[in-house]
């Protein structure tokens, strides 16, 4: 079935209420307070090479927790199933930065997409790479074939200046023996990881690999096995939206990942990847217009994974 994505995106643009201004940007990171909360961009990349966009799809923003999918992919390539000896695969049902759950479960994070899990993954990469920051950039640039992608250093510094709970989480992981490297080294990498600066066009292209069984469409390079790709998509489906993953699955019906910078990326296996950015967040930390636009996309196309 051929779907008219251009028509569907035009309808979405007409139906979104840009004047309502529901939600607030993440204000606990000083640098994110400076972002105009009324930005909106969307970019959809199909595996056949077609692309469709709305609004400011070329405006860069801090991808924040979306970066956890990239770091997890790298760790799975390096460590294989050993990853799961140090981090679980279950939804947390709690805030993404919960310390209580981590202590109750003896320092084994519930999944790799909450902060504690992402810090364990970061520790794995710090162990393996002499320059993990550059390794992450190289990986993302390989996925996008775009060497311009880099970190927003101002955001990284801003994250570190208020990263008290991440410091506490790292120390707790260390106390349970689930962090091998020096805490500051791991946190420096983690804060830079979250400060990756990308736009919707770059993000949607980067995530095509997860819609294509682990293969980069343009270069046909297999960077993940089909099984690894399936595992990552499953984790995005069940854990990709903090403690709102069930709501996203119910409304949208696609695997995806959000970040408190206002970005959301979702994929339809075998078909497309779509990235949307709008900084106003709901109380769970997910973009209000981002979730609504993706709900409209799968509703209007009558096409989700279900």
Per residue in 112-147, pLDDT (tens digit) is 999 999 999 999 999 999 999 999 999 999 999 999
Which residue reads 């770059």 in tokens?
A: 202
Q: How many CB atoms sit inside 10 A of residue 279's CB?
A: 25
Residue 1: the pLDDT is 57
| Catalytic residue ranges | 65, 68, 190, 242, 260
Mean pLDDT of 53-77: 98
Measured between alpha carbons, how far is 109 from 185 in angstroms, rounded to an integer? Answer: 20
- Residues 194-209 pLDDT 10s: 999 999 999 999 999 9
Cα angle 187-161-39, degrees, rounded to a multiple of 5: 100
- Residues 249-258 pLDDT 10s: 999 999 999 9
Residue 186 clears pLDDT 90, i.e. is over it: yes
The fold of 5-301 is Beta-lactamase (3.40.710)
- pLDDT category at 92 given cuts 50, 70, 90 is confident
- pLDDT category at 84 given cuts 50, 70, 90 is very high
The answer for 23, left when phi > 0, alpha when psi is -120 to 50, beta otherwise, is: left
Residue 60: the pLDDT is 98
Mean pLDDT of 28-54: 96
> What would the two tokens of residue 167 be?
């410091």
- pLDDT category at 96 given cuts 50, 70, 90 is confident
- pTM, 2 dp: 0.97
Cα angle 121-127-133, degrees, rounded to a multiple of 5: 70
Q: What is the largest CA-CA distance in the chain?
A: 54
Residue 19 clears pLDDT 90, i.e. is over it: no
Measured between alpha carbons, how far is 93 from 229 in angstroms, rounded to an integer? Answer: 24
Residue 54 clears pLDDT 70, i.e. is over it: yes
Long-range contacts, stretch 284-288, CB < 8 angstroms, 24+ apart: 284/241, 284/242, 284/243, 284/244, 284/247, 285/26, 285/96, 285/242, 285/244, 285/258, 285/260, 286/241, 286/242, 286/244, 286/248, 286/258, 287/23, 287/258, 287/262, 287/263, 288/22, 288/23
Residue 291: the pLDDT is 97
Residue 5 clears pLDDT 80, i.e. is over it: yes
- pLDDT category at 2 given cuts 50, 70, 90 is low
> What would the two tokens of residue 37 be?
């909360």
- Residues 201-245 pLDDT 10s: 999 999 999 999 999 999 999 999 999 999 999 999 999 998 899
Residue 74 clears pLDDT 70, i.e. is over it: yes
Residue 177 clears pLDDT 70, i.e. is over it: yes
Mean pLDDT of 151-163: 96
Beta strands 61-62 and 196-198, pairing class: antiparallel
């Amino acid at each position: 079935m051929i779907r008219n994505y251009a028509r569907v995106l035009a309808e979405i643009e007409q139906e979104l209420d840009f004047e309502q201004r529901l939600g607030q940007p993440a204000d606990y990171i000083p640098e994110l307070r400076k972002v105009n909360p009324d930005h909106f961009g969307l970019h959809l990349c199909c595996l056949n090479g077609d692309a469709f966009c709305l609004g400011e799809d070329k405006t860069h923003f801090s991808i924040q927790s979306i970066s956890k999918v990239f770091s997890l992919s790298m760790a799975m390539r390096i460590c294989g199933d050993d990853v799961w000896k140090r981090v679980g695969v279950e939804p947390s049902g709690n805030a993404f930065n919960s310390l209580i759950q981590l202590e109750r479960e003896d320092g084994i994070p519930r999944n790799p997409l909450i902060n504690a899990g992402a810090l364990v993954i970061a520790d794995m990469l710090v162990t393996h790479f002499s320059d993990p920051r550059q390794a992450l950039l190289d990986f993302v640039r390989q996925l996008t074939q775009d060497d311009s992608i880099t970190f927003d250093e101002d955001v990284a510094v801003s994250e570190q200046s208020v990263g008290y709970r991440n410091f506490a989480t790292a120390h707790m992981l260390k106390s349970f023996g689930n962090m091998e490297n020096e805490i500051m080294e791991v946190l420096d990498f983690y804060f830079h990881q979250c400060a990756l600066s990308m736009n919707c066009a770059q993000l949607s292209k980067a995530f095509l690999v997860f819609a294509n069984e682990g293969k980069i469409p343009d270069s046909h390079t297999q960077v993940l096995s089909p099984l690894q790709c399936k595992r990552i998509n499953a984790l995005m489906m069940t854990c990709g939206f903090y403690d709102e993953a069930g709501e996203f699955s119910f409304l949208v019906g696609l695997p995806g990942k959000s970040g408190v910078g206002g970005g959301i990326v979702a994929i339809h296996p075998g078909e497309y990847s779509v990235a949307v950015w709008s900084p106003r967040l709901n109380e769970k930390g997910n973009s209000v217009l981002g979730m609504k636009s993706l709900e409209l996309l799968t509703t209007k196309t009558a096409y989700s994974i279900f």
